[in-house]
Amino acid sequence: MKKILLIILDGLGDRPNRALGNKTALQAAFKPNLDYLADNGVTGLMSPVGFGIRSGSDTSHLSILGYNPREYYTGRGPFEALGLGIDLQPGDVAFRANFASVENGRVTDRRAGRIKDTTELSRSLETEIDGVKFIIKSGVEHRAALVIRGPNLSDRVSETDPHAINSDIMLTKPLSPEAEFTSSVINKFLIRSREILNNHEVNKKRIQNGEKPANEIMIRGAGKLPEMPSFEKLYGLKAACVSGTPLIRGIARMAGFDILNVSGMTGRTDTNYENVISAAVDALKTHDFVLVNIKGTDIAGHDRKPELKREVIEKTDRAMEGLKKLLDTTVIAVTGDHSTPCSFGDHTGDPVPILISTSGITRDYVKTFDEASVSLGYYKITSLDIMPLLLSYSDRSEKYGA
């Protein structure tokens, strides 16, 4: 039986970009190690969740790990909260929150210029209103989690993220009658938060420095704690997660993974790629399955920066230099969780390249790892096919039938 190393470059898939000579970031990147693994492995295209679906990182990671989101997904919020170390209790409603910039009632930046630290802002918003506790914890850049705790709370409330700039700021609405109280108490919180954030020293300083203020908190992905069997129970695998992204850490925590902390791992494009990959290699000594998530490719895609996306791929590739040595004992798979084309600035339903490499594998004829090359590879699969393939290539599958 072999170990399994699954490396997910978030938002990896792309479309040809004029700035890169009509190539995708993967096609334009110098990436000898990814190409080596593709050449010495089997490749193909993977559609996250299903063909043509514009999945979020939450639903795609769940399905890659074999948790069908149609069965287990209750919303993004609970995973963001768990990933930030909040002990979610049954009955709590959790949201993903964005610190955003607003001018004259309109959203000018959904990410407040990818603000570096919102800890003080989050702290200033914590409160209790009408017997409901508002717990807010800062994540990486503009991201945060909001948890509301109290009796009779419902997650059937609408989001307040317009997902587009120049849109009016929003309040939440109940999506069913039992959510009326929840919606009204959240709106009291949001109105109060606007006042606090607009007068906050941090924002006054940001404006003085010519930076956009983080003066709005937008919420989405309402959900309650999901019920999921552990990864160990599903597959008999002891698993670890190496990711600086709270959402991914939250999903892994929910699945019972060991969540590793790595020096220099930021969850941003400036993460220490060498440390991330070597922590994963170390973790293979004590775990059967290691999940790595590299977030920079997705950030570059959202920010429409193809050169940055190429750079993230090249840095990841350089850090992967030593992985060739593991192929006798390990199945290595590399893919994305969805496409975030720089020309589109958001997730699309385009399929993502996948490679699976290990010694003794029957190789296909693909020698380079990019969207077009792997279309000639062996597999056209969805994310729900990944775990069965990894179990099979690592000689861990159970026989189906006698």
Ligand X SMILES: O=C(O)[C@@H](CO)OP(=O)(O)O
List residues binding ligand X (CB under 6 A): 57, 98, 110-111, 143, 298, 302
CB of 22 to ligand X, least distance (A): 25
CB of 210 to ligand X, least distance (A): 22
What SS3 class is residue 357? strand
Q: Which is nearer to ligand X, 111 or 137 (CB)?
A: 111
Q: Which is nearer to ligand X, 141 or 288 (CB)?
A: 141
Between helix 306-319 and helix 273-283 the angle, nearest 10°, is 40
Looking at residue 224, its amino acid is K
Contact 96, 221 (CB under 8 A): yes
CB of 178 to ligand X, least distance (A): 28
Q: Which is nearer to ligand X, 37 or 276 (CB)?
A: 276
Compute, in degrees rounded to 10, the torsion defined by CA atoms 308, 312, 313, 316: 170
Q: Measured between alpha carbons, how far is 147 from 96 in angstroms, rounded to an integer?
A: 9
Q: Which residue is nearest to ligand X (CB)?
A: 98
Q: Measured between alpha carbons, how far is 306 from 162 in angstroms, rounded to an integer?
A: 25
CB of 98 to ligand X, least distance (A): 5
Contact 284, 3 (CB under 8 A): yes
Q: Measured between alpha carbons, how far is 42 from 377 in angstroms, rounded to an integer?
A: 7
Q: Which is nearer to ligand X, 2 or 338 (CB)?
A: 338
Q: Which is nearer to ligand X, 57 or 383 (CB)?
A: 57
CB of 204 to ligand X, least distance (A): 24
Q: Which is nearer to ligand X, 246 or 306 (CB)?
A: 246
Q: Measured between alpha carbons, how far is 299 from 301 in angstroms, rounded to an integer?
A: 5
CB of 197 to ligand X, least distance (A): 17
CB of 128 to ligand X, least distance (A): 27
Burial pattern 197-230, b for ≥16 Cβ within 10 A else e, equals: beebebbeebeeeeebbbbbbbbbbbbbbbebee
Q: Could you give the C-alpha distances from 381 to 84, 131, 325, 375, in angstroms and in order?
A: 32, 48, 28, 11
Contact 14, 371 (CB under 8 A): yes
Which DSSP state fits 168? Answer: B
Q: Which is nearer to ligand X, 172 or 373 (CB)?
A: 172
Which DSSP state fits 116? Answer: S
Two tokens, residue 125: 């918003």
The distance between the two most distant Cα atoms of the chain, rounded to a whole number of Å, is 72
CB of 133 to ligand X, least distance (A): 24
The residue to which tokens 């496409």 are assigned: 339
Q: Which is nearer to ligand X, 95 or 289 (CB)?
A: 95
Q: Could you give the C-alpha distances from 220 to 94, 271, 371, in angstroms and in order?
A: 9, 26, 31
CB of 100 to ligand X, least distance (A): 9
Q: Which is nearer to ligand X, 146 or 389 (CB)?
A: 146
